[in-house]
Amino acid sequence: MAQRIETKYESRMIMMMTEQTPLRFQRWLRLSLAAAFAALTLLGAAYAKPALILVVGDSLSAGYGLTAGEGWVDLLAKKLVREKISAGVTNASISGDTTAGGLSRLPTLLSKHRPTHVVIELGGNDGLRGSPVAAAKANLLKMTELSKAAGAKVLIVGMQMPPNFGLSYTAQFEAMYADTAKATGSALVPRFLEKIGADLSKFQPDRIHPIAAAQPALLDTVWPALVTLLK
């Protein structure tokens, strides 16, 4: 077993307490203080506040068309338990939500839940409505800034638009996620649906929302970036 190394604070305390102490007590004092500091360290870890992940998204994260417990956010909560990671999950996603809607709800969510991590999965509905990219980007920037100001680490989950929206719009839309992450120093998942792509067998009849069998792939896409933030 590796030998325990004393901290500078422990060494200083031991020196102060042993300078005028008979030699026969010095070893006993050293061992006692080391045990006390170790106990305090373990006690601090036991009472450390666990992480709380707040997911602010749209129908893709709200579990639209799925049975309770099948969505990727529900699978995330289960995976955290399996991986023995001390973190809870609060899903504040709403079907049909936009970046403007998420921004309007965020201050209350931050105040109520006090998350340590915020996952922002929004923008898809902005794009499907042909909303200006500049407006959506401004909303994402503000959401990220508010989350960071509240002390949370942020993960931005990006989306893509179908090519029929035009090359210019789709390029600008995809770039807004990377631009926001770079400008705010946030983590990024560039393409949320990348693992299921255009495979229509992975989608519900509306061709927009992934089926239950595709949810693990969504979690696998988010997980590497998220678990890095949790370390």
Asked if the structure places residue 25 within a domain, the reply is: yes
In sign, the C-alpha dihedral spanning 218, 117, 126, 167 is negative
Asked if the structure places residue 2 within a domain, the reply is: no
In whole angstroms, what is the distance from residue 201 CA to residue 178 CA? 29
* Backbone φ and ψ of 83, nearest 5°: -80, 0
Active site residue 206: yes
| Domain identity same for 31 and 63 | no
Asked if the structure places residue 104 within a domain, the reply is: yes
Range of the domain at 42: 8-46
* pLDDT recorded at residue 46: 42
* pLDDT recorded at residue 25: 54
Active site residue 209: yes
Active site residue 74: no
- List, for residues 87-133, the tens digit of each pLDDT value: 999 999 999 999 999 999 999 999 999 999 999 999 999 999 999 99
| Domain identity same for 40 and 68 | no
What mean pLDDT do residues 13-22 have? 54
| Domain identity same for 74 and 168 | yes
* pLDDT recorded at residue 12: 57
* pLDDT recorded at residue 163: 87
The tally of domains found in the chain comes to 2
Q: Which of 111, 168, 201, 206 is catalytic?
A: 206
| Domain identity same for 136 and 24 | no
Q: Does pLDDT of 2 surpass 50?
A: no
Share of the chain above pLDDT 70, in %: 79
Asked if the structure places residue 75 within a domain, the reply is: yes
CB 144 within 8 A of CB 120: yes
What mean pLDDT do residues 67-73 have? 97
| Domain identity same for 23 and 88 | no
Asked if the structure places residue 3 within a domain, the reply is: no
**Which of 18-32, 61-75, 153-167, 170-184 is the least confident region?**
18-32
- List, for residues 52-68, the tens digit of each pLDDT value: 999 999 999 999 999 99
| Domain identity same for 57 and 38 | no
| Domain identity same for 78 and 182 | yes
**Which CATH number characterizes residue 94's domain?**
3.40.50.1110
Question: Which of 103, 157, 96 is closest to 128 using CA atoms?
Answer: 96
More confident residue, 9 or 83: 83
| Domain identity same for 100 and 31 | no
Q: Does pLDDT of 24 surpass 90?
A: no
Spell out the residues 6+ positions from residue 193 whose beta carbon is closer than 8 angstroms to its own.
159, 160, 210, 218, 221
| Domain identity same for 36 and 103 | no
Asked if the structure places residue 1 within a domain, the reply is: no
Q: Which of 58, 59, 93, 97 is catalytic?
A: 59
| Domain identity same for 76 and 177 | yes
pLDDT-derived band at 45, boundaries 50, 70, 90: very low
| Domain identity same for 39 and 71 | no
Q: Does pLDDT of 76 surpass 60?
A: yes
| Domain identity same for 117 and 17 | no
What mean pLDDT do residues 61-89 have? 98
Asked if the structure places residue 214 within a domain, the reply is: yes
* pLDDT recorded at residue 3: 44
Distances 69 to 134, 149, 155, 167, 196 between C-alpha atoms, Å? 35, 31, 22, 37, 20
Asked if the structure places residue 166 within a domain, the reply is: yes
Q: Which of 74, 97, 186, 209 is catalytic?
A: 209
Sheet of 51-57: strands edge to edge?
87-91, 51-57, 117-121, 153-157, 187-189
